[in-house]
Amino acid sequence: MLVRELKTRPKGWREHREHIRRRWTVPFHAIEWVWHWIAYGLSRWAFLEVLEYASGLSVLVAVIFYYAESGDRKKQKHYQAWQVINTAQGKGGSGGRIEALQELNADHEALVGVDASGSFLQGIKLHGADLLRANLSASDLRMSDLSSANLESAELKSANFRGVNLRETNFKDADVSDVDFVDADLSRADLTGANLDNADLQNADLAGIRFAKAASMKGANVRGVRNAPDGFLQWAASHGAAL
């Protein structure tokens, strides 16, 4: 912000000229003297002070409008993200869906029922995402982070979850048949009611998982699983899993 100060009245030209020691500098001193008088006159012009206050007020108004319209800007941003996701539906590749899904999740938008089946989403970060009834079947999510996500009743058949962080993820009643869970971290995941037919759990971390009421494990591969809870392997074998 500019700080206005009243200028002292400059000396007259004769008095000012008496202090000039070199004659060749007189033109430069004259120009400087004129500007001193202009500055003196403008410092006493109230109109400029009003303009200064108006300038500060316009900045304040702009800030107020910026925050007042932040909700509309966020809605527009979310609309564009959903447009990217819906336009790419049924197509392979990413199609901008990784950035769109991450952006929506970062703004705590629910991703309920999103259809990204057959998509390439490798490395996506969706910690805590609400993916209730989402369709990610046949999608490539290798090395992603879906920890604490809600995938209840989701369609995940044939998805690739190799090396994915699935800690505390909710798979209640989800279809995870034919899913590749090799090297995935499923610690404390909830598999209650999930269909695990032909799922590959080789080398997956199963510490603290909830499994007692999983719907089916026919043909599932549980060889080499890590940190399996007591009784899990016996239970899996009795439900058709391959040891």
Question: Which residues, other chains included, contact 164 with Cβ-Cβ below 8 Å and sequence gap of 6+?
Answer: 141, 142, 143, 144, 145, 146, 181, 184, 185
CA–CA separation, 159 and 161 (whole Å): 6
Question: Which residues, other chains included, contact 144 with Cβ-Cβ below 8 Å and sequence gap of 6+?
Answer: 121, 122, 123, 124, 125, 126, 161, 164, 165
Task: Write down the pLDDT at residue 50.
Answer: 65
User: What is the tens place of the pLDDT at every residue in 179-197?
Assistant: 999 999 999 999 999 999 9
As to burial, measured by CB atoms within 10 angstroms (0-12 exposed, 13-18 middle, 19+ buried), residue 36 is middle
Which residues are paired to 155 by β-bridges?
Answer: 135, 175
Nearest to 232, CA basis, from 198, 209, 216, 215? 209
Mean pLDDT, 10 residues at a time, over the chain (243 residues)?
62 72 75 75 65 70 66 81 88 86 95 95 97 97 98 98 98 97 98 95 96 86 95 90 86
- Positions of CATH 2.160.20.80 in the chain: 94-243
> What DSSP element (H or E) covers 124?
none
Which residues are paired to 242 by β-bridges?
Answer: 221
Architecture field, domain 94-243: 3 Solenoid (2.160)
